[in-house]
Amino acid sequence: MTAQRPFRFGVNMVVPGSRAAWIEKCRRAEELGYDVVGVADHLGLPAPFPALILAAEATQRVRLNTFVLNVPFYNATLLAREIATVDQFTEGRIELGLGAGYAKDEFDAAGLPFESGGKRVDRVEHTVRTLRRLYADPEYQPRPAQQHGPPLLIAGWGDRMLRLAAEHAAVIAFTGAASPRKGGPLLAAGLAETENRVAFARRCLGDRADQVEFNLLIQAIAKPQERAELLATYGPLLPPDVADTPEELPILLLGSHEEMAAHLRARRERYGFSYVTVLEDNMDKLAPVMALLR
């Protein structure tokens, strides 16, 4: 087996607030030692690109990403201009996260058709190829700071998204959940299903396997005294193979700081998840675990 990648940690900001509050949160993430500050792309939350530019002004070191853009919302050529501008203005600190979108109510609110999963993946592929083509043109303006544009993080779970990510992405973000047909709720994926998806991605990567990071979004973190409350929420979503051992579910992180660190090491060993992202409300909870893993 190849050498383990060092851990990298991101926090995805999802709570809107004032300019001062946003600056404070971004600086707090950098002070805690996070490597990446991300911005979600949902209606009702701050627009991703202005938020990232302000985050860059407020911080010194962290990388900045969209986690993840709802690609069917955007025209690919116009999006390329936005991305290049933000990469230029942040001096090359951008990582571009892309996804196919899943929240039908947001498409309805925006007056956009909620197309089939296959057509939404088609839109992601079209966007990726448009970005590659435009940024490869030496005459293209505005020039992104990074030579070929920001590195791509592509989030997915199904075969087509994982194939697309394996071909183009620097990071494959595994959602840890599979959406049933007809816009149903996201359901937690079990251990066997996660192993299946990781193995499929590795086969698709081929010779690129050592060049691509695997990312996992942790949905919830609970210390021992918070375990019961968390399981009351997530218990109904637990797949059968972790019904008795919920601490093994990849998208949850349970236990003491030492136990959480051990779980993340085990997930890196088993699945290759070296890039770990948490939601904003868990930012402080993960900080002591990050210190143990470094």
Q: What angle do CA 206, 71, 162 make, to 5 degrees?
A: 20
Q: Please give the pLDDT value at position 16.
A: 78
- Are 238 and 188 spatial neighbours (Cβ–Cβ below 8 Å)? yes
Question: How crowded is the C-beta side of 220, counted as CA atoms within 13 Å?
Answer: 19
At 236 the pLDDT is 85
Structure tokens at 79: 């999006």
Query: pLDDT tens, 16-33?
Result: 789 999 999 999 999 999
What pLDDT is recorded for position 87?
98
Give the pLDDT score at 1: 45
Instruction: Report the candidate in 143, 118, 120 with the shortest Cα–Cα distance to residue 74.
Output: 120
Q: Rounded to whole angstroms, how far apart are CA atoms 132 and 33?
A: 32
Q: Which two tokens stand for residue 254?
A: 């349970």
Whole-number average pLDDT of the chain: 94
Give residue-wise pLDDT tens across range 216-234: 999 999 999 999 999 999 8
pLDDT at 209 over 90: yes
* CA dihedral sign of residues 123, 124, 127, 132: negative
| Helix, strand, coil fractions of the chain, as percent rounded to 5 | 50, 20, 30
269's CB contacts (< 8 A; 6+ apart) are 4
Percentage of residues in the chain having pLDDT higher than 70: 96
Alpha carbon distance 167, 181 (integer Å)? 26
pLDDT of residue 234: 86
The angle formed by the CA atoms of residues 186, 273 and 225, to the nearest 5 degrees, is 70
**Per-residue model confidence as pLDDT tens digits over 174-208:** 988 755 544 455 568 999 999 999 999 999 999 99
Q: Pairing between strand 152-156 and 94-99?
A: parallel
Percent of the chain with pLDDT over 90: 89
Q: CB of 223 within 8 A of CB of 282?
A: no
d(CA 46, CA 147): 28
pLDDT at 291: 97
72-91 per-position pLDDT tens digit: 999 999 999 999 999 999 99
- Residue 153 pLDDT greater than 90, yes or no: yes
Contact assessment for residue 13 and residue 40, using Cβ atoms and an 8 Å cutoff: yes
Name residues whose C-beta falls within 8 Å of residue 105's C-beta, 6 or more positions apart in sequence. none
Residue 274 CA: distances (Å) to CA of 136, 162, 242, 290: 30, 17, 22, 12
Could you give the domains of the chain?
A: 8-293 (3.20.20.30)
What pTM, to 2 d.p., does this model score? Answer: 0.95
